[in-house]
Structure 1
Amino acid sequence: MHRSLKWLAVLTTLGMFLVLLGGALVTKTDSGLGCGNEWPLCHGQIIPENITIETVIELSHRVVSGGVGLLLAALSIVAWRTIGYKRETKFLVILSLFFLIAQALIGAAAVVWGQSDFVLALHFGISLISFAAVLLLTLLIFEIDQKFDASTVVIDKKLKWHTIGVTLYSYIVVYTGALVRHTNASLTCPDWPFCVNANPFMSFNMYQGIQMGHRLAAGLIFLWILYIAAMAIRNYKHQRVIYWGWIIALTLVSLQVLSGAAVVLTGLNLYVALAHAFFISCLFGLLCYFILLISRSKLNEGSVSKVS
């Protein structure tokens, strides 16, 4: 039973990841109206007759989202019955289902009635929360074998609050990045890292402000994670999950910044843009896992080096 549950959890997590990247693909290829202003039908049909690449992308995203929704429903029922005794299980099940439904409703509303760019920018972030919840649920399921006990992890207050802070802040970074794409501000500053061609006193318009605001937010999260990673490397050498976890986080945020620069410098290359979405998704999932560890670990009030 446990083995089947693990496979179901992994499959659902991968499916949620495909939903996440599929939504990014829809946005980056401007395929949101690939099925016209109709949902769940596509141009009034289940399978439309006149198929364009935009139609294929939008319809595929809907089909994958529906299939993953069924997988998530099955996983939620089995996990609730099997590991419902774990305190986080029911919360994560409800969270993943709620935000998956919210993502679908916002997507449907955008197709049928249209939405402002500032509302549409929420779509990726909502999908990200659902993905992170499913990822954490999967990790809980894999703890059935008790090969890792999070209660053995000791985290001091300083690292705890930095972790919580940078995780919450990462959501702001995600939103500003989505806003850049939805407002078509990606190439309003074709230079990187600064908007060299813009006169900061005369011609700095809203779109350049959105673009540069995202770059500033991304720069700050890079510096913040660099600082936390240095802290982890210095004080958590004997706690491999924390030590290597923050090294991976630093690697992911570095790749995120580099891919963001490459998006601009390559003129919105689709593969680079999807890589950009991939790295932030992995980073957010990892940060959420750190939060899970904090909630289950022993909190050391003093310096962690005293107990390492």
Structure 2
Amino acid sequence: MQRPLHSLKWFACVTTLAMLFVLIGGALVTKTGSSLGCGRSWPLCNGQWLPDDITPELVIELSHRLVSGLAGIMVLILSIWAWRAVGHVRETKFLAVVSFVFLVVQGLIGAAAVVWGQSDFVLALHFGISLISFAAVLLLTLLIFEADKTISAASLTLRRPMRFHIYGIIIYSYIVVYTGALVRHTNASLACPSWPLCAKTRLFPVQFHEWVQMGHRLAAGLIVIWIAIAALHAARHYRSQPVIYYGWIIAFLLVLAQMATGALVVFTQLNLYVALAHAFFISCLFGVLSYLLLLALRTRRNPAQSVSRPVGETAPAALKYR
């Protein structure tokens, strides 16, 4: 393969990692209460390019701004480069636009929150918007590897039940992400001292922060069950299609890790490293689900990849219940 595409693959991987650092950095800012580390000043820090009074919160907030700015430049370069190099791949141009636009939007929301302040319900959207940008960059990277024949997801067959799982779970996962972000922004992470119940002496929450926390736990519990069902379905019917089979196995392992770190956040009294790991696992999970969505949309656009037969003809046993 030509050298330019080889270089593009490396740059795409580095950009994907940079976007992951943006996500984790945003979670770090929220969890350490550093969102106003630079005061009500943006893009300057306390109205200065080089602040005089250096605090841990200032370092965290300023570092996140610098990483986000660098990632924005990298995403812009990647979008233009991928557009020119692999623009013939159908999804490339759409993902190139989405990755950069959503990164800009999340930056503007962050800036508005610093300068004017925002409600917790609006701030909870910040992580989700960054997550879409990260997923778009990840998918763009995978498309580049596909164009280079490094990975292959050709000749897929997805029946209606599997497409239902993919569409439903990724939409629902975004709701779970929002409820988790709302927990952080409302400072409800330790509202319930017990797990999985809110308290050992009662079953139901009694005040707002407890309802926020338990709402997220319920949403997270349901997605664990749903992904387990989808992974079992893939194990039964899609072993011959490794990208689908292993995609769901990885998704199941990631959602288990996300659930475990969520419980450890309570048991460790909001240990910072555990909390960041919790954000890391949900970011990776959303990336995997986004790739499965891309594959499902491809088979939807290309019916020839799906099994088709005359009305009334019986499906083979291996495909009948897919």
With the shorter chain as reference, the TM-score category is over 0.9
1:5 to 2, 5, 8: 8
2:220 to 218, 225, 231: 218
Q: Distance in 2 between matches of 1:45 and 1:160?
A: 52
> Would you say 1:300 and 2:303 are equivalent positions?
no
Matches within 5 A, 1:160-171: 160-171=163-174
- Residue in structure 1 matched with residue 311 of structure 2 by the alignment: none
Q: Give the structure-1-normalised TM-score.
A: 0.96
Q: Give the structure-2-normalised TM-score.
A: 0.92
- Residue in structure 1 matched with residue 312 of structure 2 by the alignment: none
> Would you say 1:54 and 2:57 are equivalent positions?
yes
How far residue 113 of structure 1 moved from its aligned partner, in angstroms, is: 0.3
The unaligned stretches of length 5 or more in structure 2 are: 300-304, 309-314
Contact 1:235 1:304 in 2 (8 A): no
How far residue 304 of structure 1 moved from its aligned partner, in angstroms, is: 8.5
> Would you say 1:151 and 2:149 are equivalent positions?
no
Q: Distance in 2 between matches of 1:274 and 1:304?
A: 45
Contact 1:150 1:296 in 2 (8 A): no
- Relative to structure 1, the CA distance from residue 147 to residue 72 in structure 2 (aligned partners, 3 Å threshold; closer, same or farther) is closer
Count of matched residue positions in the alignment of Structure 1 and Structure 2: 307
Give 3-state SS (helix, strand or coil) of 1:154's partner.
coil
Contact 2:197 2:203 in 1 (8 A): no
Matches within 5 A, 1:257-276: 257-276=259-278
- Residue in structure 2 matched with residue 68 of structure 1 by the alignment: 71
> Would you say 1:133 and 2:136 are equivalent positions?
yes
How far residue 198 of structure 1 moved from its aligned partner, in angstroms, is: 6.7
**Aligned-pair RMSD on alpha carbons?**
1.7
Contact 1:180 1:186 in 2 (8 A): yes
How far residue 237 of structure 1 moved from its aligned partner, in angstroms, is: 1.2
- Residue in structure 2 matched with residue 251 of structure 1 by the alignment: 253
Contact 2:237 2:319 in 1 (8 A): no
Q: Distance in 1 between matches of 2:221 and 2:15?
A: 33
Give 3-state SS (helix, strand or coil) of 1:108's partner.
helix
- Relative to structure 1, the CA distance from residue 199 to residue 55 in structure 2 (aligned partners, 3 Å threshold; closer, same or farther) is same
Matches within 5 A, 1:21-36: 21-36=24-39
- Relative to structure 1, the CA distance from residue 300 to residue 162 in structure 2 (aligned partners, 3 Å threshold; closer, same or farther) is farther
Q: Distance in 2 between matches of 1:156 and 1:148?
A: 22
4+ residue segments displaced more than 4 Å:
197-201, 301-304
> Would you say 1:123 and 2:136 are equivalent positions?
no
Q: Which moved more, 1:137-146 or 1:277-286?
A: 137-146
Give a deviation string over 1:211-230, Cα, whole Å, max 9, x none: 00000000000000000000
How far residue 150 of structure 1 moved from its aligned partner, in angstroms, is: 2.6
> Would you say 1:42 and 2:45 are equivalent positions?
yes
> Would you say 1:14 and 2:17 are equivalent positions?
yes
- Residue in structure 2 matched with residue 234 of structure 1 by the alignment: 236
Q: Distance in 2 between matches of 1:304 and 1:4?
A: 45
Q: Distance in 2 between matches of 1:147 and 1:41?
A: 43
Give 3-state SS (helix, strand or coil) of 2:158's partner.
strand
- Relative to structure 1, the CA distance from residue 144 to residue 284 in structure 2 (aligned partners, 3 Å threshold; closer, same or farther) is same
Q: Distance in 2 between matches of 1:69 and 1:304?
A: 50
Q: Which moved more, 1:70-79 or 1:125-134?
A: 70-79
Give 3-state SS (helix, strand or coil) of 2:257's partner.
helix
Contact 1:259 1:275 in 2 (8 A): yes
